[in-house]
Amino acid sequence: MTSVRAHRRRTAVAIATVLVIVAVFVVRLVDVQVVRADTLDRQAAERRGDVSVIEGTRGSILAEDGTVLARTVLRYNFIATPKYADKGTRTENGKAVKVTLQQAADAIAAITGQKASDITGPIEDALKQNKNSEYALVVKNVDASTYQKISALGISWLDAKSHQVRVYPDGAVAGNILGFLNGEGTAQAGLEKEYDKCLASSNGEQTYQVGADGVTIPGSTKVQKAAKNGGDVVTTIDPDLQWFSQDEIEKTVKELGAQFGMVSVVSVKDAKIKVAAQYPSADPNNLDATGTQYWKAMMFQDMYEPGSIFKPVTAAALLDTGMVTPTTQLVVPDTLSPQEGVFVSDSESHPVQNLTLTGVLTESSNVGMSELGTKMSDKERYDFMRKFGFGSTTGANFPGESAGLLSKPSQWDAQTRYATTFGQGLSTTQAQMMSAYQAIANGGVRVPLSLIAGCRQADGTMTDVPSSTGTRVVSKQTSQEILGMLENVLKGGPISTLPNLEIPGYLVAAKTGTAQEPDGNGGYKQSYYVSVMGVAPVDDPQYIVSVNIGFPTTITSSLAAGPLFKTMMSQVLKTFRVQPSTAPPADYPDTY
């Protein structure tokens, strides 16, 4: 009996011990194979094999029609191992044959267009310093087809390494808006910088093991971290129209002996910037061809005193508060000196005129505008200017965008109080002027300017879509009255002496400007900043076009900008297939 019981106890103990041991192993197994599997796997792979980086690609900048404006491509460098350069082979008809350094260099040079000495030189230099040298860079930055050709030579001591390069297929077209990267690939300016978060990619990592023959051992490649490609920025710029504008502004600036010029186009309903052209412009593929002062986007980063093109803003404020109507009558002399230290004059001397508000805008009378504008309280006028967007950056958030200069009424001296009615004594950017005109043309509702439609992520979703919520600045009636008054500028204003300025079939509202710019010493420069801004068609406003020419020498009045304005407006209406006007013109009288 005792032996049977003892036997059973021993069996139980044995089974229990075995079970415990099995349980311990099971726990350990689960821990190793399931719980810590990933970590251990990675550690093992890293210890046994090689780690390589999977490069993510920076996103492209596209136009809305899909045209590529900026993209990242691979370029190749070829690196020689100088210590083997004399005992090299190359592949001919599938067999390795001996090749001397000179023969190999000749073959490479024939492909790249280098001289053979460009290849032998670095190799010999490296060998002079160290006869066991393993590094000499012989071919730099070649594209894929050259890479294929050189690789096909099969030179045993030559190795290729790829790197990413940013290219801009359309060159200087919108180059100043796109911006550029520095040598390290960091965004420096423009959309590249503004939407760097969207465009940026992140590199991944993989581990693998290689057999003695250089082939990766099957199943050993493990992606530890997947690479992430950047998203694409879709810009609102129309590349063809942008090119046309840049081509035209360059011709005009050169003809007029001017220093620089700008052309901008913005759609009225959604405030999308279609063109932001400038001359001189920068080609991001080759920035050195352009002076550094023109690497910026002048539309956002340059401020200037706008001059007479600002008058519609004052007029809109006056109309909206009900102080005037388009036919308000006014007696306008050519100079005005209402108090000590204030002197306002029109650009040309003229006898006293009986002008309506419309006539003041058509003739662009500083005196007339001063008389009317100062009837309004400074505070109220200032508030209108702020609502039109002056003194703050536009919604485009362009890197380095200027907010212009608009001081508070308390800081205005007597002259400034008058000058601000006709666009002097304050500074704006071209973008701010476009934004103000957009509000006037869009029935009084200002929509923030936008340069991009959004950031298209890899999965097709659009993020960073700019806000299109507008704020009302003036009433719809004010908007219509301003546009109606500005119809007269091309018919009877200072630039109407130019032949062939109207666009048949379309009602065009326009305003000229001949602004004086500060000389930096408290006075004004002798030369002018001439401009024409306009909206068409008036009965259903679609596009705003602005032409600015800096300091022309052959023609110094706004006549200089007139022909280009017409060319641009015609091209815009043609490009976007805008329907001709159907409504009759407003026909406000200029005089009484």
Partner 1 sequence: MSQATASLPSTRRAPERRTPPRLEALPRASRRARPKLFYAAVAVMTVMAVVVVQLLLSIGVSQGAYRIESLQQTKAHLARQYQQASEKVQTLSSPQNLAANAVALGMVSDASPVYLRLSDGAVIGAPTPASATADSTGQLVQNALTAGIPLVTASKSAKAPKDSKAAQGTATQTGTGAATGSTASGTGESGTPDSNQSSDDDSPVPWTGALPAPSTH
Contacts with partner 1, residue ranges (CB under 8 A): 3, 7, 10, 67-68, 71, 73-74, 91-94, 143-145, 147-149, 151-154, 167-173, 215-219, 239-240, 243-244, 246-247, 250-251, 281, 283, 285-286, 289-290, 500, 503-505, 567, 570, 573-574, 580
Residue located via tokens 């690196």: 79
- In the DSSP assignment, the letter for residue 31 is I
Report how far apart, in Å, the C-alpha atoms of 397 and of each of 190, 349, 363, 436 are: 10, 43, 36, 16
Q: What are the helix (H) ranges across 31-83?
A: 37-48
CB of 134 to partner 1, least distance (A): 23
Residue located via tokens 């004594």: 425
- Answer whether 340's CB lies under 8 Å from 448's CB: no
Nearer to partner 1, 580 or 589 (CB): 580
Nearer to partner 1, 92 or 125 (CB): 92
CB of 49 to partner 1, least distance (A): 14
Report the distance separating Cα 474 and Cα 321, nearest Å. 9
Write phi, then psi, for 450 (nearest 5 degrees).
Answer: -135, 145
CB of 199 to partner 1, least distance (A): 17
- Residues in CB range of 193: below 8 A, 6 or more apart: 179, 187, 399
Nearer to partner 1, 66 or 522 (CB): 66
Nearer to partner 1, 239 or 444 (CB): 239
CB of 285 to partner 1, least distance (A): 4
CB of 168 to partner 1, least distance (A): 8
Nearer to partner 1, 139 or 573 (CB): 573
- Answer whether 199's CB lies under 8 Å from 192's CB: yes
- Amino acid identity of residue 68, one-letter, is V
Report the distance separating Cα 258 and Cα 278, nearest Å. 13
Nearer to partner 1, 23 or 152 (CB): 152
CB of 144 to partner 1, least distance (A): 4
Nearer to partner 1, 506 or 529 (CB): 506
302 closest CA partner among 279, 286, 268: 279
- Answer whether 78's CB lies under 8 Å from 159's CB: yes
CB of 455 to partner 1, least distance (A): 21
CB of 290 to partner 1, least distance (A): 8
In the 3-class helix/strand/coil scheme, how is 398-417 assigned residue by residue?
A: CCCCCCCECCCHHHCCHHHH
Nearer to partner 1, 250 or 540 (CB): 250
Nearer to partner 1, 369 or 503 (CB): 503
CB of 152 to partner 1, least distance (A): 4
- Amino acid identity of residue 435, one-letter, is S
**3 state SS of 546:** strand
Nearer to partner 1, 206 or 364 (CB): 206
- Answer whether 448's CB lies under 8 Å from 471's CB: no
Report the distance separating Cα 425 and Cα 314, nearest Å. 14
Report the distance separating Cα 392 and Cα 548, nearest Å. 21
Q: Are strands 61-63 and 232-235 parallel, antiparallel or unpaired?
A: parallel
Nearer to partner 1, 164 or 329 (CB): 164
**3 state SS of 279:** strand
- In the DSSP assignment, the letter for residue 210 is B
Nearer to partner 1, 389 or 550 (CB): 550
CB of 451 to partner 1, least distance (A): 19
Nearer to partner 1, 90 or 311 (CB): 90
Nearer to partner 1, 67 or 516 (CB): 67
Report the distance separating Cα 567 and Cα 263, nearest Å. 11
- Answer whether 276's CB lies under 8 Å from 398's CB: no
> DSSP string of 425-476?
SSBEEHHHHHHHHHHHHTTTEEPPPBSEEEEE-TTS-EESPPP---EE-S-H
**3 state SS of 353:** strand
252 closest CA partner among 579, 465, 532: 532
CB of 239 to partner 1, least distance (A): 6
424 closest CA partner among 273, 304, 575, 570: 304
163 forms bridges with which residues in the sheet?
Answer: 75
E strand or H helix that includes residue 167: strand 158-167
